[in-house]
Structure 1
Amino acid sequence: MSYIAGINAATQRTDLNEILSQIFHIAPPQFDPTTGTARFGYGLDGRLFTEILEFPRGIDPEKSRSDAFVKLLGLTAIVLGVSYFKLKAPLAIEIEGIPLTAAERDFVIDVYENGLGEFYARNNLIRFGRLVLEAPEAPGPAPGAVTLEDRTLLPIGGGKDSLVSVELLKAAGVDFTPFAVNPKGPILGCVEAIDKPALYVRRTLDAEMIRLSGQPGFYNGHVPSTAINSMIAALCALLFGYNRIVLSNERSASEGNVVFDGREANHQYSKSLEFETRIAAVLAGATGGALTYFSLLRPYSEARIAELFARETRYDHVFSSCNRNFRLSGHDGPLWCGECPKCHFVFLILAPVMQKDRLVSIFKRNLLAERQHEASFRELTGLAGQKPWECVGEILEAAACLHVLTGRPEWAGDAIVAALRDDLLAQYGEPVLLEAMRELMTDSPDHHVPAELAARIATHAL
């Protein structure tokens, strides 16, 4: 399809000359196995950008020359490109020298549409169904199966979820290697507590892209980081011999935030079950079925994960889910800011399953006693506004957890609990809140965890 034909079919409200002057270009990536360095080039608005990934040394050059690795390197280049695309968010994407199958084209469009759904919504950009992708068609049959060792690569984000996966895998007798991109602060602290050798990749974004983001004439906003890190993990799996990547995304990640441009925009889209299904199929197709990808925690709610996390104390003072402190200090500062919706949500779901003094010692303060944050808790529980643009659980989940606290003497008198108690009952009714809590502690059958592994971890999760 030509750009002009595709664009005319996609929109009648945008000036064609403006669209054609802004084509996002993705160049063929380069990889040097002797240094473990991958380079990715992009062009937009007359500017060239380069992103660099640095993998551990000791790579077998033959592995980097396999059809599967070349295929995944190209797909990684495309997914990493969202960080540069969003500077102008044009309607046309031109991919050079990276042949795509029909399924891979659909995957790319999904990443650039739904993966950037929050970005479009918050910048009021109409893009769904309008992006035009030009890329060479993949010739011949798909790559044959590659040989990968029966090993697990486990991304560690520094929060509670991946640590629950650690304990479940240990209990099931499954060996694994912790993995992270640009590890800092709580990621390093968690890996030290896990006490297993880790595999790290250094990612360097183009400095000019960072400078331009949010400047006049350029956009800024959320990108699908889980999709990006998953593609980087896939490259590591092929280079170092792992046949599975195990994520730690819970079922509530599939709940969106708002409906925008006729579609649900989800801050956590690349953590959702829908995206997991898509990327798993693409990774399997690129490797002849050798590489599998699934989330171990998909059957669980955030409340259920909190209950599992509370069973182990060794991570209490090394984990953090606070994205605000990560942005401000690279997570080399305090683990929790105590001011953001993510801090409030994690505190809220841990409160029903953890001793109060233990929880307060983790956060260094009682967030449910701070009346100034009432508006945040109202958003989390669906009493006001929309679900925050954060990796938080379902609205009814937060409401049910807070309702539980209204019946706990140690929590009932705290400012937030007391202030929201009657409004929760008025909006939802106690039967709904009680049933929601029961359902939150019931495992969902909607997941891709292999049956044999699911059975092995089930006994530990009881």
Structure 2
Amino acid sequence: MIPALTEQFLIERPVFDSATGIASFGYALGDLHFVETLDFPAGADLAAAGSASFRKLLDLTAIVLGVSYFKLRAPFEIVAPNIALSEAERAFAIDVYENGLGEFYARNTLLRFGKLSIHAPHDAGTARPAITLPDRTLLPIGGGKDSLVSVDLLTHTGVEFTPFAVNPKGPILTSVDKIGTAPVYVTRTLDAEMIRLGKEDDYYNGHVPSTAINSMIASLCALLFGYNQIVLSNERSASEGNVTFDGRETNHQYSKSLGFELLIASVLSDATGGALKYFSLLRPYSEARIASLFTHETKFDRVFSSCNRNFRLTGNDGPLWCGECPKCHFVFLIFAPFMAKHRLLSIFGKDLLDNPANEASFRELAGLAGQKPWECVGEILEAAACLYTLTRHADWHEAAVVKAVKADLLAQYGEPKLQMAMAECLTDSHDHHIPPALAAKVAAYAV
């Protein structure tokens, strides 16, 4: 690996062609040059595309999309000579490149926290006049349980919404088909050379903050097609990190965390004069609470999936659930206390808790061995509480994994702590960013 000390990562100013609906983003690492494109659907508001707010969001999107190219070398210096940043925007950019790439640094043993610099012209940050956006909701759909619970909550509280996705595939397409509302889809085309180099030994590769990336793309759609709020489906469990590295907690789900939500919401609001809102509808809930809410609706049982094998660049021709990965194991675990056993088995096609080969994975999820997996899974104590609940559940207490971990679970945590943890999982948090009127409607329905 060539040292990154003397290298710079260059972010060029992006270009949006309103005639074709294509935005182009250029980047450079030494003599390597990359171009990424976003292809937006027809029907954009040309006046919005020419606004100062859209220009600002396009520039900020270029900053965030750049993480995919920056990580090839992970140099210490980032330069954006034609993108002016306010102090708040500069802090946002540093946060994306530090905490957003925290897992990438940890897994590649790269010390970057507090060492990165971004050189860009200063934007005085004078308040932008508020733009006018229709009172409409853009709802990112990920194909898993979370966004589909948001669909149910918004539907039953009378909030109309438009499904949104970037490069939709598999469970996203089938879920949107079941929702039955015309979506907004964006095609993101990564530079092919970047993908190729990422497979070579001379370059780094790893996790990027995909929620941050997709959120910035959604913000562009909000202006182009007229939406005043972007509603995410990130749970409170997403704020828990995985490991401490380089003196800082690193979190696979950092860009789903409450801290990042508040940061990006402020940046998007400032860029639009307060017109664009951004928040997570599921922030009050644990993963277990979301699983319990999912059981209220059955129409998505055969189309949703949280298994990462469905979202690989190369696609997936297999089943919706592989049954082997931590994501499959965790989702099965949190559904088990709330969903009828026959329904859960029909969704997954097999009993993941009755297979001794899965024991090590469930032990990691519950904090009995190893570390929390680098996956979008819930809190360690939450998983432990769900496992404890199954030791007392008529349908599950004889399952191979449940029997195997019971003694160690009780020895490590103790019964009172596990009981309290389960109660807390089912108690809604007040630490969220949902507009009060909507929060009240959702709380009244989600009982």
> Which TM-score applies when normalising by structure 2?
0.98
Alignment of 1:303-314 (within 5 A): 303-314=288-299
For residue 19 of structure 1, what is the amino acid of its counterpart? Answer: L
Residue identity (%): 68
Alignment equivalent of 2:182, drawn from 170, 189, 197: 197
Alignment partners' CA distance in 2, 1:223 and 1:332: 25
Alignment equivalent of 1:442, drawn from 418, 421, 427: 427
Structure 1 residues 283-342: Cα deviation after superposition (integer angstroms, max 9, x where no partner): 000000000000000000000000000111100010000013422752453211111000
User: Cα distance 1:409–1:455, how it changes in 2: closer, same or farther (>3 A)?
Assistant: same
Match of 2:110 in 1: 125
3-state SS, counterpart of residue 87 of structure 1: coil
For residue 340 of structure 2, what is the amino acid of its counterpart? Answer: Q
Match of 1:375 in 2: 360
Post-superposition offset of 1:212: 0.5
Post-superposition offset of 1:249: 0.1
3-state SS, counterpart of residue 430 of structure 2: coil
Where do 5+ consecutive residues of structure 2 fail to align? Answer: none
Match of 2:241 in 1: 256
Alignment partners' CA distance in 2, 1:85 and 1:198: 31
Alignment partners' CA distance in 2, 1:141 and 1:263: 33
Structure 1 residues 165-187: Cα deviation after superposition (integer angstroms, max 9, x where no partner): 00000111000000000001100
Alignment of 1:201-220 (within 5 A): 201-220=186-205
How many residues align structurally? 446
For residue 35 of structure 1, what is the amino acid of its counterpart? Answer: T
Match of 1:105 in 2: 90
Alignment partners' CA distance in 2, 1:345 and 1:28: 41
User: Cα distance 1:429–1:140, how it changes in 2: closer, same or farther (>3 A)?
Assistant: closer
Alignment partners' CA distance in 1, 2:280 and 2:244: 26
* Pair 1:19 & 2:31 matched: no
Alignment partners' CA distance in 1, 2:103 and 2:76: 17
> Do 2:22 and 2:37's aligned partners in 1 also have CA atoms closer than 8 Å?
yes
> Do 1:303 and 1:441's aligned partners in 2 also have CA atoms closer than 8 Å?
yes
* Pair 1:326 & 2:311 matched: yes
3-state SS, counterpart of residue 50 of structure 1: strand
Structure 1 residues 96-126: Cα deviation after superposition (integer angstroms, max 9, x where no partner): 2111000000000000000000000000000
For residue 5 of structure 2, what is the amino acid of its counterpart? Answer: I
For residue 66 of structure 1, what is the amino acid of its counterpart? Answer: S
Post-superposition offset of 1:140: 6.1
Match of 1:339 in 2: 324
Where do 5+ consecutive residues of structure 1 fail to align? Answer: 1-14
Match of 1:460 in 2: 445
> Do 1:184 and 1:331's aligned partners in 2 also have CA atoms closer than 8 Å?
no
Alignment partners' CA distance in 1, 2:220 and 2:310: 29
Q: What's the Cα RMSD here? A: 1.2
Alignment partners' CA distance in 1, 2:291 and 2:106: 30
Match of 1:389 in 2: 374
For residue 152 of structure 2, what is the amino acid of its counterpart? Answer: E
> Do 1:185 and 1:332's aligned partners in 2 also have CA atoms closer than 8 Å?
no
> Which TM-score applies when normalising by structure 1?
0.95
Match of 2:25 in 1: 40
Alignment of 1:159-308 (within 5 A): 159-308=144-293
Structure 1 residues 136-171: Cα deviation after superposition (integer angstroms, max 9, x where no partner): 111462321111000000000000000000000011
Post-superposition offset of 1:132: 1.1
> Do 2:170 and 2:310's aligned partners in 1 also have CA atoms closer than 8 Å?
no
User: Cα distance 1:140–1:308, how it changes in 2: closer, same or farther (>3 A)?
Assistant: closer
User: Cα distance 1:421–1:103, how it changes in 2: closer, same or farther (>3 A)?
Assistant: same
